[in-house]
Structure 1
Amino acid sequence: MASELIKGIRAQGDRCLMIDLGDQIDQAVGLRCLTLADSLRQASLPGVLDIVPSFTAVAIYFEPSTVIGDDPVAYLTGVVQDIIGQIAEGAQLTARRIQIPVCYGDKHGPDLEDVAKRMGLSPEEVVQAHHGSICRVYMIGFAPGHPYIGIHDERFALPRREVPRTALPAGSLGIANRQSTIYPNVLPGGWHIIGATPLRLFNAKAAQPTLLMPGDEIEFVPIDDHQFDEIKAQQEQPA
């Protein structure tokens, strides 16, 4: 059973080992990637510099000279196989639960009306469907602190916009392909923007620069314009 969970293990040069667990976005595969990454971090392996999960794989970055044994790839492969066995036996992911306040629609969500038409719902029903269940951060990518959150139900299986925007405000909440994302800074993007959060997702000067991490459980909480402005003002105050 454990061996069946691994689709492939491959060295990416002499300082990275890639563990493939799937080939498409799938909730079960994504959760296994997160659990493997979490277990590897808890193992505090000598020589391992970083562990980066995605929806389908986990990358292990290491310093060859400080990994146990003469063959770092063989050693790390053995560790991964042991941990995969634990996951197959029911090892659980340790995760935080984080609330993300979102002001949906109007100036904060210019695509909400169009998304509602595409989904055959009212804007209110889209909002309800979006925040009505707990989601999870499956990976961070594209830009520092930029989360990929999901996996939403089939109604959110919308392709990205045909014409991306060249600049989206920080905090913009977008949906596409049954996922949500939040733009941590002013960035270009082609996702459908249905709202925005006043929270600051990335702060390079902070001890922990990213607000969200892979594995975090996300609860979207609707707020109004007044609440948005209040929280935004608090975020901008010096620590």
Structure 2
Amino acid sequence: MTGAPFIRTVGLSGLLVSFGTEMSEAANRAALAFRVALEDEQWPEVSETMMSLVSVFVAVDLVETPTNGIEEKLRGLLDTQDWYVAPLPAGRTLWHVPTVYGTDLAPQLEEAAEVAGLDPDMAIRELSAARVRVLTLGFAPGQPYLGELDAVWNIPRQQNLTKSVPSGALVAAIRQLIVFTAPTPTGWRHVGQTAFRNFVLDSLEPFALSPGDEMTFPAIDRVAFDKIAPDDRFGGATREMLP
């Protein structure tokens, strides 16, 4: 965390508050907690906040607002606590999403297991028991980056792209999981298949997940998967509120 947190300007559109230069649990925790605290301040010059894995973008019109002034306010808020050990935001949700591992629905489970040094059955047990945090949403609307998995899952991306994986695909790389929200090309390995849809354009609440939520992906067989109602947006998932 040397030098972090640090603040940089992003053109004239705002400032970026970064809690690290690479993904870590503590840096993601800090970004989550800081963003909530910043939004609670309701500063009139801040029109929006967004977060990546370890940073918070603060949208401010730097033509109208002096950079030094808003940076001073941000540093003042940063100085109020140690954000790396801050409590995670309240009101988070834990989702349990039924998942088929392997089979023709998720054909790269065995390949991913081999790269991780596991047999396929052990890989399924580990992935289905893992409890991961929504680190951020991005790349595509509502697409969650989830982590971190145990170090054994620090597997690289593929050398080549898979031309397309379906909506609901669970893919793995670099100690993270993603649930795709639409058919997408990817360099991550397709290890599981869900019927979970985080993004529904015409819904009153288009995103089911928020950064800081948590997820598990318990294993089910193909017969149970085929019984999930096609109009069930959450693909048979259950959820509970976290304290």
Tell me whether the two structures share a fold, i.e. TM-score over 0.5.
Answer: yes
Deviation at 1:149, TM superposition (A): 0.6
1:180 and 2:174 aligned: no
CA RMSD across the alignment: 2.4
For normalisation by structure 1, the TM-score amounts to 0.86
- 5 Å-filtered alignment, 1:159-174, equals 159-174=156-171
Indicate conservation of the 8 Å contact 2:98/2:219, yes or no: yes
Aligned match of 2:126: 129
- Give per-residue Cα distances to partners, 1:184-209, cap 9 Å, x unaligned: 00111110111011011211111221
Q: Secondary structure at the match of 1:211?
A: coil
Deviation at 1:126, TM superposition (A): 0.6
Give the residue type in structure 2 aligned to 1:53. Answer: M
Indicate conservation of the 8 Å contact 1:199/1:232, yes or no: no
Aligned match of 1:45: 43
Aligned match of 1:139: 136
- 5 Å-filtered alignment, 1:145-224, equals 145-224=142-221
Q: Across the two proteins, how many residue pairs are aligned to each other?
A: 231
Displacement over 6 Å in runs of 4+ = none
Greater displacement, 37-46 / 202-211: 37-46
For normalisation by structure 2, the TM-score amounts to 0.85
Aligned match of 1:71: 65
Indicate conservation of the 8 Å contact 1:111/1:192, yes or no: yes
Give the residue type in structure 1 aligned to 2:56. Answer: V
Q: Distance in 2 between matches of 1:232 and 1:86?
A: 48
Q: Distance in 2 between matches of 1:82 and 1:223?
A: 49
Deviation at 1:75, TM superposition (A): 4.0
- 5 Å-filtered alignment, 1:12-51, equals 12-51=10-49
Q: Distance in 2 between matches of 1:63 and 1:232?
A: 46
Deviation at 1:76, TM superposition (A): 3.2
- Give per-residue Cα distances to partners, 1:167-187, cap 9 Å, x unaligned: 110010000011101110011
Identity rate of aligned residues, in percent?
A: 27
Indicate conservation of the 8 Å contact 1:5/1:84, yes or no: no
Higher helix proportion: 1
Q: Distance in 2 between matches of 1:52 and 1:192?
A: 28
Indicate conservation of the 8 Å contact 2:133/2:146, yes or no: yes
Q: Secondary structure at the match of 1:231?
A: coil
- Give per-residue Cα distances to partners, 1:141-190, cap 9 Å, x unaligned: 11111111111111101111111112110010000011101110011111
Aligned match of 2:88: 93
Within the candidate set 103, 108, 122, 2:105 is matched to 108
Indicate conservation of the 8 Å contact 1:100/1:221, yes or no: yes
Unaligned 5+ residue runs, structure 1? none
Deviation at 1:57, TM superposition (A): 1.4
Deviation at 1:4, TM superposition (A): 5.6
Indicate conservation of the 8 Å contact 2:170/2:193, yes or no: yes
